[in-house]
Amino acid sequence: MPEPLTQGEISSQTDPSVSKQYDTSTPKDQQIKEFFSTVDSQKICMLNTYRNGTGPVGRAMGIAKRTGPDFLFLANMHSQKFSDLKDNKEVQLTFQDSKTYDWISVSGQATTTSNSDTRIKDLHSKSVSAWFGDLGDGKHDGSAEDPRMALIEVRAKHVVYWLHQVGTLGFVKEVGMAAVKGEVAVTGVLRELGEGEIERAREMDGEE
C-alpha cells in the first residue's frame, strides 16, 4: 500500500521512494540467493564503460558465465570497449526485466584477456561466431581460436537491485492511489550488497 510522506523524510533530505522500499528485514544470504536467481533469468545486460572525452558508454552484451557476483563476457578485442577499459577499468552492468520492472546494477572492475585464455574454449558456442564473421582465411572465423576472440571479466564491488512485490495490475493501482492521495508508491523491495556481502556471495557460489 502507498505510504504517507513524513516531515522527517523532508528534514533529512531523504528520497522516500528509496527509504520506504529499502529492505532491512530479509537476511543477507537470502538477498544474495535472490540476486543470483534474478540475474540468471537475464541473458543480456548493458555493459557500461567510461570513455575519455565522452563519459559513460553502454552496449548490450550476452553473458557468457556468472560466477558468484562476477561475470564473464566473450568479446571482440578490436571493439572500442577494449580501448575504454585500457584507460579506465571501472564498469557498470545493468539488467532489467521489461515485464516485472525488476532491475539490477552491478558496479565493478573489469580485466581483459587475450585469446590465449583457456576459458574461451569452454565458454564459446557456435552462435557466438555470428557476431564476428568469417574472413575465409582459416583464422578469423569467429571460432574459439579466432585471435579476435577475448574475454572481459567483471569483478563486482557493489550491487543494488529492486524486486517487484506486486503484479502489473497491482503496480498500476499502487501508483495511481499514491498519486491521488499524495503518498509514496511502494511496489517492491530495494536491496544493496556492499563489500562484505560481495565476498560472502563469492563464498556462497561454491556452496550452490
pLDDT digit string, tens, across residues 7-38: 888 888 878 888 888 999 999 999 999 999 99
pLDDT for position 95: 97
Q: What is the pLDDT along the chain (208 residues), one digit of tens a residue?
A: 777 778 888 888 878 888 888 999 999 999 999 999 999 999 999 999 999 999 999 999 999 999 999 999 999 999 999 999 999 999 999 999 999 999 999 999 999 999 999 999 999 999 999 999 999 999 999 999 999 999 999 999 999 999 998 877 777 776 787 787 786 667 889 999 999 999 999 999 866 5
Query: Average per-residue pLDDT in the chain?
Result: 92
- Hey, what domains does the chain have and what are their CATH numbers? 28-165+195-205 (2.30.110.10)
Beta bridge partners of 184: 3
Long-range contacts of 95-103 (CB under 8 A, 24+ apart): 95/38, 95/39, 95/42, 95/45, 95/46, 97/41, 97/42, 99/168, 100/164, 101/162, 101/164, 101/171, 101/187, 101/188, 102/38, 102/161, 102/162, 102/163, 102/164, 102/188, 103/161, 103/162
Q: What is the pTM of this model?
A: 0.90
Nearest CA among 193, 202, 160 for reference residue 69: 202
pLDDT score, position 207: 62
By CB atoms closer than 10 A (0-12, 13-18, 19+), residue 50 is middle
Q: How many CB atoms lie within 10 A of CB 156?
A: 21
pLDDT at position 208 is 52
For the chain, helix, strand, coil in percent to 5 are 30, 35, 35
